[in-house]
Structure 1
Amino acid sequence: MPDTFDLTPEFARQADQQDPLQHFKQAFHFPRHQDRDVIYFCGNSLGLQPKNVAAAMQTELDTWRKMAVGGYFSGPNPWLYYQHYVQSSLVRLMGCHENEVTVMNTLTVNLHLLMLSFYRPTARRYKIIMEAGAFPSDQYAIETLVRHFNLDPTDAIIEINPREGEKTLRTDDIVQTIHNTGAELAMVLFGGIHYYTGQLLDLPAITAAAHAAGAVAGFDLAHVAGNVPMQLHTWGVDFAAWCSYKYLNAGPGAVGGAYIHEKHAQNIHTPRLGGWWGNDEKTRFKMEKGFIPKQDAGGWNISTAQVFNTVALKASLELFDEAGMDRLRTKSIRLTAYLEYLLHQLPQLNFEILTPADVNSRGAQLSLFFREKGKEIHQRMIDNGITVDYREPGVIRVAPAPLYCSFEDVYRFYTILRDHFN
Structure 2
Amino acid sequence: MNTAFQPTISFAAAQDMSDGLASFKSKFHFPQHEGKDAIYFCGNSLGLQARSVEAAIRQELEDWRNLAVEGYFRAKNPWLFYHTHFSETMAGMMGCSPEEVTVMNTLTVNLHLILQSFYRPTKERYRIVMEAGAFPSDQYALETLVRLHGLDPDDALVEIHPREGEKLLRTEDILDTIARQGNSLAMTLMGGINYYTGQFYDIPAITAAAHQQGAYAGWDLAHVAGNIPVQLHDWNTDFAVWCSYKYLNGGPGAAGGLFVHERHGNDPAFPRLGGWWGNDEKTRFRMEKGFVPKPGAAGWQISTAQVFNMAALKASLELFKDAGIENLRAKSLRLTAYLEFLLGQTSLPCEIITPGDPQQRGAQLSLFFPKDGTAIHARMMESGIICDYREPGVIRLAPAPLYCSYADVLRFHDVLKSFS
Q: 2:96 & 2:370 partners in 1: Cα distance? A: 41
TM-superposed CA distance for 1:418, in Å, is 1.1
Amino acid aligned to 2:392: P
Aligned partner of 1:405: which letter?
C
Q: Deviations over 1:248-271 (max 9, x none)?
A: 001000000000000000001111
The answer on whether the counterparts of 1:275 and 1:301 sit within 8 Å (CA) in structure 2 is: yes
Counterpart CA distance in 1 for 2:224 and 2:60 is 29
Distance in 2 of aligned mates of 1:3 and 1:183: 51
Structure 1 position 247 matched with structure 2 position 252: no
Quote the Cα distance in structure 2 between the aligned partners of 1:288 and 1:279. Answer: 11
- In the other structure, the counterpart of 1:370 is 369
Q: Counterpart in 2 of 1:149? A: 149
Q: CA deviation at 1:282?
A: 2.2
Q: CA deviation at 1:345?
A: 0.8
Post-superposition Cα deviations, 1:163-187, rounded to whole Å, max 9, x if no partner, equal 1111000010001111111111000
Structure 1 counterpart SS, 2:74: coil
Deviations 1:364-397 (A, max 9, x none): 0000111111111111100000000011111110
Matched residue, 1:216: 216
Unpaired runs of 5+ in structure 1? none
Partner in structure 1 of residue 177 of structure 2: 177
Q: Which region of structure 1 is more displaced relative to structure 2, 22-31 or 279-288?
A: 279-288
Tell me which residue corresponds to 2:380: 381
Question: TM-score of the superposition, structure 1-length normalised?
Answer: 0.99
Alpha-carbon RMSD: 1.0
Residues 90-129 of structure 1 correspond to what in structure 2 (within 5 A)? 90-129=90-129
| Secondary structure in 2 matching 1:251 | coil
Change (3 A) 1:3 1:238: farther
| TM value normalised by structure 2 | 0.99
Per-residue CA shift, 1:314-367, capped at 9, x if unaligned?
A: 1100000000010000000000000000011112x2111110000010000000
* Percent of aligned pairs sharing the same letter: 64
Code of the residue aligned with 2:252 in structure 1: it is P
* Letter in structure 2 aligned against 1:361: Q
Structure 1 ranges of 4+ moved more than 4 A: none
How many residue pairs are counted as aligned between the two chains?
420
Q: Aligned equivalents of 1:210 and 1:14: distance in 2?
A: 47
User: Who is 1:401 aligned against?
Assistant: 400
Q: Distance in 1 between matches of 2:245 and 2:200?
A: 19
Residue aligned with 1:29, SS: coil
Where does 1:20-419 land on structure 2 (aligned, <5 Å)? 20-347=20-347, 349-419=348-418
Deviation per CA, 1:185-233, whole angstroms, max 9, x where unpaired? 0000000000000000000000000001100000000000000001000
Q: Judge conservation of contact 1:3–1:334 (CA < 8 Å) in 2.
A: no
Q: Partners of 2:415 and 2:156 in 1: how far apart?
A: 48
Letter in 2 for 1:395: V
SS of residue matched to 2:173: helix
**Contact 1:47/1:245 (8 A) holds in 2:** yes
Letter in 2 for 1:355: T
Q: How far 1:2 moved relative to its partner? A: 6.2
